[in-house]
Amino acid sequence: MTTDATLPWTRSRDGLVLRVRVTPKSSKDMVEGLEASAQGPALKVRVRAVPDKGAANTAVVEAVADWLGVAKSSITLIAGSTARVKSLAIAGDGATLAAECARRLGVQD
């Protein structure tokens, strides 16, 4: 597994682990870029859903899947189910996923 303290993702054997910071009850579902969090840099994700019965978590998975161009079924919430900062595991080729994240954010991987 590779890591970089300035990026919100780490490559894993099975794909990528992505840290996201969620803002629920937003005006639209979207990925806004990078944001600092207590846990380190995170992908800033806004969702319309309220944090009730997992609705916001589902919306986060859908927003990230759309943003990355991957299937929703390839993304699993692995930490932070009731917190604003969450960790998502994205199945696939870690190098390709990291490169796509970097390209979309305009940063170096």
Distance CA 101, CA 96 (A): 9
2 belongs to a structural domain: no
- Any idea of the CA torsion for 55, 57, 60, 64, to the nearest 10 degrees? -130
- Residue 5: what pLDDT? 72
Would you give per-residue pLDDT tens digits along the chain (109 residues)? 444 578 999 999 999 999 999 999 999 999 999 999 999 999 999 999 999 999 999 999 999 999 999 999 999 999 999 999 999 999 999 999 999 999 999 987 6
Looking up residue 89, the CATH number of its domain turns out to be 3.30.1200.10
| Total tally of structural domains belonging to the chain | 1
Counting Cα atoms < 13 Å in the Cβ hemisphere of 98 gives 20
Dihedral sign for Cα 60, 62, 66, 71, please: positive
- Residue 105: what pLDDT? 93
List 36's β-bridge partners, or say none: 41
102, 109 in Cβ contact below 8 A?
yes
- Residue 4: what pLDDT? 57
